Amino acid sequence: MRLSLATVPATRATKPAYDPSALDIGVVHFGPGAFHRAHQAAYFDALAAADPRWGICGVSLHSTGVRDALTPQDGLYTLAILDAEISYRVIGAIREVLVGPEDVEAVFERLTRPSVGIVTSTVTEKGYCLGPDFTLDFQHADIVHDLANPQTPKSFIGYVAEGLRRRKQAGLKPFVLIPCDNLPKNGHRLKAAVVAFAARFDAGLADWIDAGLACPCTMVDSITPATDDALRARVADVTGLEDAWPIQREAFTQWVIEDHLHEGGPDWTRVGVILTDNVPAYERAKLRLLNGPHSTLAYAGLHKGYDSVSQAMDDAELAQTVRALMIEDVVPLLEAPKGLDLVAYSEDILTRFRNPAIVHKLSQIAWDGSQKLPIRILSSLSEALERGHDITRLALPLAAWMRFVRLKAVKAEAITDPLATDLIAIGLTCKDVVSDVGLFLALRSVFPEDLANNRTVIAAIEGAYTRLLAQEGVFA
Ligand code: CS2
């Protein structure tokens, strides 16, 4: 029997403490992938019993997979929380899933409902269509398309701008726009991108958005390994109901939102959301002390033949390097958010990485390295350099990423990355340390010129690359 509103009374998981069918749509979420369903949807689910206004309409920009899995289940899915003991909870907050290219007018209808007060997004770093300077990339194919065809957009930015235009035309207030991706200053950058996009065709709209759109910065955190068949089988077994797409995550979860939300919005703090005026300090700490080490473990761990984060953490040398990178290299560069001890925060993250209940694939974290490394590693590296600190360890993830690309290219395996074509071409051209590192450093959308030409940086990456090559032997 499959999970749905009709069958949910039979589940052995914790059931929604409210009637999901009675929720109003108050949130439109772009990118209803695993992280959204593990994180924001669980918060809205916790809100729902006391406040039924915040049901979610998920919008997939490309794929039909989530819609096809969740629609027969009336939007319900099972969230497995991986702790010492695994607990299972049915989430009812997602009320419908639309697919942008198939349902474009329905998406705009939702975006212009007076009851829709919030638009959230998890579209990944690349989904914001920003250039290396984090401003809107007007050369981006989707942005070019959306400026020419604003009624049938492809990008998240295009949907938001047209949705806001229609709200303005209808005499409505803007919704609150809350990005939930691992991008520094995500709210400020998203708002600037939407305003820049609107300014290209309607200066009045751009001014209206600039003056009225609340787009808070956020920090989101919860480790969410991809769903696999083992999870599907476990969920069916334990809950008694089949679920085409259950989600799993660690027990730890954090959502920090900049404190300038609209009146009449949800009571965020009731469900554990932290509202603060200092999100940048939280997001910097998280991006550099969780995501940076994650990417380091991914590339250096795959290089050593490991499969998951906890396996890589069992390698004493690698674990020690990552810990030193966090505590000795990154912590001294950061300002601690009030009340947060960055060393204790780092130790807690290392404990989360070691959690044997979680099989978090290194290959999943290795996706989109060209987008992630500048945010997670180069930010620390350039500050360390300015202060004259040693950058030997910070060069490791960069060199390991280069070797990752090289070995993928040689094995003719696909790379998930918006720069995949360029990366494979470079990977196939690699021949020796100096020229390989030079080829990668010439990728201007990853490495800014000042870093790419800096002798200390070049030497540190070449050193790390040489050490990795020595471990490999094979392709040297
Ligand atoms: C990971 C993140 O896949 C990745 O790149 O570093 O998804 C990480 O698990 C989350 O940000 C944790 O909150």
* Best of 124, 180, 182 for a ligand 1 pocket test (most atoms within 8 Å of beta carbon): 182
| Ligand 1 centroid, distance to 65 Cα (angstroms) | 21
331 & 445 share domain: yes
Nearest CA residue ID for atom 8, ligand 1:
223
At 476 the pLDDT is 41
User: Which residue from 123, 154, 147, 145 is spatially nearest to 198, judged by alpha carbons?
Assistant: 147
* One domain for residues 144 and 286: no
Instruction: Determine how β-strand 274-276 pairs with β-strand 254-258.
Output: parallel
> Does ligand 1 have an atom closer than 6 angstroms to the CB of 111?
no
- Point out which residues pair with 118 in neighbouring strands: 27, 176
* Phi–psi pair at 361, nearest 5 degrees: -65, 130
Query: CB under 8 Å to 207, separation ≥6 — which residues?
Result: none
Cα of 209 from ligand 1 centre, angstroms: 31
Does ligand 1 have an atom closer than 6 angstroms to the CB of 67?
no
Per-residue pLDDT reduced to its tens digit, 59-82:
999 999 999 999 999 999 999 999
In degrees to the nearest 10, what's the CA dihedral of 217, 39, 292, 330? 60
What CATH number is given to the structural domain containing 327?
Answer: 1.10.1040.10
Q: Are residues 258 and 329 in the same domain?
A: no
Nearest CA to 49 among 275, 267, 273? 267
Least Cα distance to 219 among 259, 187, 263, 180 occurs for 180
Both 326 and 256 in one domain: the answer is no
Say if CB 375 and CB 283 are below 8 A apart.
Answer: no
DSSP state letter for 413: -
pLDDT reported for residue 284: 96
pTM: 0.96
What pLDDT shows up at residue 473?
A: 63
- In this structure, the answer to whether residues 139 and 201 fall within a common structural domain is yes
Domain that holds residue 78: 8-277
Distance of alpha carbon 232 from alpha carbon 442, whole angstroms: 44
- 103 phi, psi to nearest 5 deg: -125, 35
Q: How far is the CA of 295 from the centre of ligand 1 (A)?
A: 9
Ligand 1 and 122: CB distance under 6 A: no
**Cα distances (angstroms) measured from residue 476 to each of 249, 406, 410, 433, 469:** 39, 11, 12, 9, 6
The domain total for the chain is: 2
Residue found under tokens 């290209």: 200
Residue nearest to atom 4 of ligand 1 (CA): 365
User: Which residue, of 245, 277, 309, is where some domain finishes?
Assistant: 277
Closest-lying ligand 1 atom to the alpha carbon of residue 35: 7
Q: What confidence score (pLDDT) does residue 38 get?
A: 98
Residue to mutate (ligand 1; options 43, 294, 361, 372; most atoms within 8 A of CB): 294
**Positions in the chain whose pLDDT score sits under 70:** 473-476
Q: Which of 232, 254, 277 is the last residue of a domain?
A: 277
Q: What ligand 1 atom has the least distance to the C-alpha of 182?
A: 11
Q: Which helix (H) or strand (E) holds 275?
A: strand 274-276
Mutate-to-test residue for ligand 1 from 223, 254, 283, 350, highest number of ligand atoms within 8 A of CB = 223
State both tokens at 65: 């997979």
Q: Identity (one letter) of the amino acid at 37? A: R
| Spatial separation of the C-alpha atoms in residues 465 and 122, rounded to whole Å | 33
Nearest-angstrom CA–CA distance, 208 and 427: 47
